[in-house]
Amino acid sequence: MNLPLHGIRVMELGSFIAVPYAASILASLGAEVVKVEPLPPGDPFRRGRDADDQYFAQYNAGKKSLSADLKNARGRVVVERLLKTCDVLIHNLRPGKAEKLGLGYEQVAPGLPRLVYAAISGFGNLGPLGRRPGYDSAAQSMSGLYALLAREGEFQATGLPLADNTTGVVAALGVCARLAGRVRSGVGGLVETSLLEVATMLANGGALGSAVRSGTGYSVRSQVYCLECADGRPVTVALGDSDELWSTLSRLVADRSQGRLDLLTGPGWARYRDRLEDYEAIRGLLQEYFKEVDAADAVAALRYRGIPATLVQSYRESVIEGDAAGLLQKCPGTVDLVRLGLSFGETRTSRIPVVPRVGEHTRALLADLRMNDETTQLEAVRAVYCVPEK
């Protein structure tokens, strides 16, 4: 079975994370992705290590690399000819830059009506922030995500490029939606999103929790408790608004604490709305019990009684060492790739497990465009770069 986007060619004009991640999702769905990047050292996200950077590998394995100088008129001709063979263009050029290069939507759409044109920006194309460069940290800061993590006045980052990654997912979804629409209409169209818009979407759930203090909104409303056990391992317990789950948990804790924590089983917290008000007090009492039991024993006892409980694991424990979800795909010479978590029947999404060098596919793509006779001259004027032939 071919993956859903088999036969779709995508041109990526992107660097760092959001656009390369969106394009890698499309590649995982079967699309051929051509990454157009500057002459060596190429995409700055390579960090000067070409194909050997592990972060670059996660976002760019399985793509083809065309190295071209977009400021060079002849380099632009190559890109424009390639674009005519593509179904999708996705870029994160700063608002206004695509137009200066002759690659703005209004410039290319009339001649390529079937093209799906996706543009990712930092803050959208409208308003006073439109031309500012986009950074994940800026989007998380402005959207309220960082504030939602604040505890006792101390702000902290989320620990991952949440805005970048999720914007890549949203952009890929938008591209797929446009491609689906093209089947009916025969016409492509524009797809736009921004780091700030997507980060605001993510912050929405926490922002709606105005009844509780910032930083604990989700935990309080969902009655999720993260508790440290005797062996130092943390465990999460999720009760939601279930009075039945609360009753089961409170009885277990009271019984095993030999009556010290009988307060938990009293009428004061029998109702969900009362537990919302006293979340921190309840957490403190639960912590007294969990500090006396090892994490594995606590999880086993809770699950036996039907209470959702899980060990808190590091990414290394869960994915790299455990790979419980079967998400790792071997990529010789770099790092294991994390698969897109989608399957179609018995077919799992996957990428070609090879990380392209800068300009590795320039020569072959020029031949595909019937420009192979011009390759030497294009290299001579530094319009393109080709990996030297062996």
pLDDT digits (tens, 9 = 90+) for 240-280: 999 999 999 999 999 988 878 888 998 999 999 999 999 99
Could you identify the residue written with the tokens 């999880």?
299
Task: Give the count of beta carbons closer than 10 Å to the beta carbon of residue 369.
Answer: 16
Candidates 53, 23, 92; CA nearest to 334 is 53
Pairing verdict, β 343-344 and 347-348: antiparallel
**Cα–Cα distance between 262 and 265 in angstroms, integer?**
6
**Cα–Cα distance between 227 and 236 in angstroms, integer?**
6
- pLDDT, position 138: 87
- pLDDT, position 153: 59
- pLDDT, position 40: 97
Please compute, for residue 12, the number of CA atoms within 13 A of its CA located in the half-sphere on the CB side.
Answer: 32
**Cα–Cα distance between 243 and 212 in angstroms, integer?**
20
Q: Examine the residue annotation and report whether 69 is marked as an active-site residue of this protein.
A: no
Could you identify the residue written with the tokens 């939507």?
105
**Cα–Cα distance between 13 and 63 in angstroms, integer?**
12
**Cα–Cα distance between 295 and 248 in angstroms, integer?**
18
pLDDT, tens digit, for every residue of 4-22? 999 999 999 989 999 999 9
- pLDDT, position 210: 43
Residue 286, phi-psi category: left (phi > 0), alpha (psi -120 to 50), beta (remainder) = alpha
Write down how long the chain is. Answer: 390
DSSP letters of 58-123? HHHTT-EEEEE-TTSHHHHHHHHHHHTT-SEEEE-PPTTHHHHTT-SHHHHTTT-TT-EEEEEESS
CA angle 174, 161, 227 (to 5 degrees): 115
Task: Give the count of beta carbons closer than 10 Å to the beta carbon of residue 366.
Answer: 23
Q: Using DSSP, state whether 255 is helix, strand or coil.
A: helix
- pLDDT, position 275: 94
Domains of the chain: 9-205+324-385 (3.40.50.10540), 234-311 (3.30.1540)
**Cα–Cα distance between 96 and 76 in angstroms, integer?**
17
* Angle, in degrees to the nearest 10, between helices 162-185 and 136-143: 90
Could you identify the residue written with the tokens 């632009």?
76
**Cα–Cα distance between 77 and 66 in angstroms, integer?**
13
Residues 6+ apart with CB under 8 A from 316: none
pLDDT, tens digit, for every residue of 320-370? 776 666 788 877 776 788 888 889 988 889 888 999 999 999 999 999 999
180 DSSP assignment = H
**Cα–Cα distance between 307 and 291 in angstroms, integer?**
18
Candidates 282, 159, 306, 300; CA nearest to 227 is 282
**Cα–Cα distance between 105 and 373 in angstroms, integer?**
31
Catalytic residue among 43, 50, 164, 336: 164
- pLDDT, position 215: 42
Residues of the chain with pLDDT under 70: 1, 126-131, 149-157, 205-216, 322-325, 334
**Cα–Cα distance between 143 and 373 in angstroms, integer?**
51
**Cα–Cα distance between 277 and 12 in angstroms, integer?**
50
